[in-house]
Amino acid sequence: MEPFNARSMLDAAASATTGRPQVERRRRLSPAALAVTNQKVRGAYSPVVIAGAVRIADFVLLSLVGVGLYLAYVKPLSGFHWEYIAAIIGMTVTAVICFQAADIYEVQIFRGQLRQMTRMISSWTFVFLLFIGVSFLVKLGGEVSRVWLSSFFFVGLSVLIVERLLLRSMVRAWAHDGRLDRRTIIVGADKAGEQLIEALKAEEDSDIHVLGVFDDRNDDRAMDTCAGSPKLGKVDDIVEFARRTRVDLVLFALPISAETRILEMLKKLWVLPVDIRLSAHTNKLRFRPRSYSYVGKVPTLDVFEAPITDWDLVMKWLFDRIVGGLILLAALPVMALVALAIRLDSPGPVLFRQKRFGFNNERIDVFKFRSLYHHQADPTASKVVTKNDPRVTRVGRFIRKSSLDELPQLFNVVFKGNLSLVGPRPHAVQGKLQNRLFDEAVDGYFARHRVKPGITGWAQVNGWRGEVDTDEKIQKRVEFDLYYIENWSVLFDLYILFKTPFSLLTKNENAY
């Protein structure tokens, strides 16, 4: 059986529909939904990253203990031997593998105390018994310092216990603040939705926090309160709701047989940077076990996944801060010369801020060098700059053609963190194509905001930059941006950065 392919189903549904593209606008939410969005919510911490960081911490701490004891006791007596260092690294790696096999690298385990301590002590003891057994077999037992080995065991165990106690308090604090919750909304306020919520709430130590349910139906099948969770609105309200508060998971309680309804809903929701799944807990049709992922013990079918999450998000954050910081240092002399030229060319400030679309349609301020006459400034970019536009200064024409006006956005990347070096370009909030806002011109336009926007991007290095005066230009930008989102990697970002200077020189015919 072929895996469920939501994108192909959406494409087929989109090609079958005709008429004007769906227009996305801010919707008025119900009082129940507003009560949820008005709650103070902190950013989420990834359990995958937390578990990985603890693995790294275990390796580093145990290695430092082993090496420190060796340098303090063994080396002054018998000199330096690389065999000890190799043994320490081998024992530490083995310990991390044993901890993994004992399932103590899970956030739910970090919250407890007795269970993780007993498993950790047993695993650490097994590592030393294994080392003693191997030393005996290869006849190295007499060459290994017993004082060092005993000290390594007890000091290492003490360090692990202290680390786990600190971790336990941190994880509990994060859980109390909601940073470990998966904020979930349910689609379907009927009996199936009620059963799904009850199944989710029955899980012990569950990280699922059900915010409420959404349903389009107004008949007796739709409940106002579903298993204690309030009905917050209709499916059309979900996009606006998810942009006002943090939503991590959208879970459909509808049966897979309701294919047409599901497709209509997915066409509206796939623009969000959230995981979308179909619950299979009430379906009689059963796929192979590998076809399912699980939310607790509830089987689900993955439809869409939030792009660039967990360690990918950490890598992109480090890439932006480190590489962006280096580029900013290198660009400072050029930026100083551009600022001086702007100051001498026309009166007004050197920099200006403009409202742009950020991650998940958040409105952000981006910095740019001023390229228009100050008295003709257009902070909302409601009027697109065209060829020979009289509002553009002499210096402005050069810096816009060469994209030097974008250099101050490095401040957004390095200091504010609301831009990336590479990503979909942040369009102006009031950006228009022939009196139509961009989201009116392109179906699924807001899907490009599922990741943080960037100074340069895949569309730009392929020549789709500058003035947007035809449907093809905005459609191609969105097409290339979506390709970037679905195929992101650090190497892809490096490739785009490498190509950017060459594309500025060879593909700037649309930049005015």
**Contact indicator for 292, 300 with CB cutoff of 8 Å:** yes
Residue-wise burial string across 302-322, b where 16 or more C-beta atoms lie within 10 A, e elsewhere: ebbebbbbeebbbebeebbee
Instruction: Please give the DSSP secondary-structure letter assigned to residue 275.
Output: E
Cα–Cα distance for residue pair 25/22, rounded to 1 Å: 10
Structure tokens at 96: 């991390």
Residue 422 CA to residue 453 CA, distance in Å, equals: 7
CA 86 to chain centre: 37
φ and ψ at 225, to 5 degrees?
Answer: -135, 125
Enclosing H/E stretch for 363:
strand 363-369
Query: Which domains, from first to last, does the chain contain?
Result: 6-13+180-306 (3.40.50.720), 47-176 (no CATH), 311-506 (no CATH)
> Tokens at residue 423, please?
């990503």
> What residue type is 178 in one-letter code?
G
pLDDT tens, residue order, the chain (512 aa)? 344 454 444 444 444 444 444 444 567 888 999 999 999 998 899 999 999 999 999 999 999 999 999 999 888 877 787 888 998 999 999 999 999 999 999 888 888 777 788 999 999 999 999 988 887 776 665 577 888 889 999 999 999 999 999 999 999 999 999 999 999 999 988 888 888 898 888 887 788 999 999 988 775 666 778 888 899 999 889 999 999 999 999 999 877 667 788 888 888 898 999 999 988 766 655 555 556 788 878 888 888 899 999 999 999 999 999 999 999 999 999 999 999 999 998 888 999 888 888 999 888 999 999 888 877 776 666 666 667 778 888 888 888 888 888 999 999 999 999 999 999 998 877 776 676 777 777 778 888 999 999 999 999 888 887 667 677 888 888 999 999 999 999 999 999 999 998 887 776 555 54
Give the Cα separation of 294 and 273 in Å (integer): 20
Query: Cα–Cα distance between 452 and 304 in angstroms, integer?
Result: 18
Residue that the structure tokens 């189903």 belong to: 9
Q: What is the dihedral of CA 351, 356, 359, 364, to 10 degrees?
A: 50
Structure tokens at 410: 């490095």
Residue-level pLDDT at 383: 66
Cα 178 from Cα 36, distance rounded (Å) = 14
Contact 314, 28 (CB under 8 A): no
Show the DSSP H helices in 346-412 as ranges.
394-401, 409-411
Q: Tell me, what's the pLDDT at 486? A: 92
pTM of the model: 0.84
pLDDT confidence of residue 20: 42
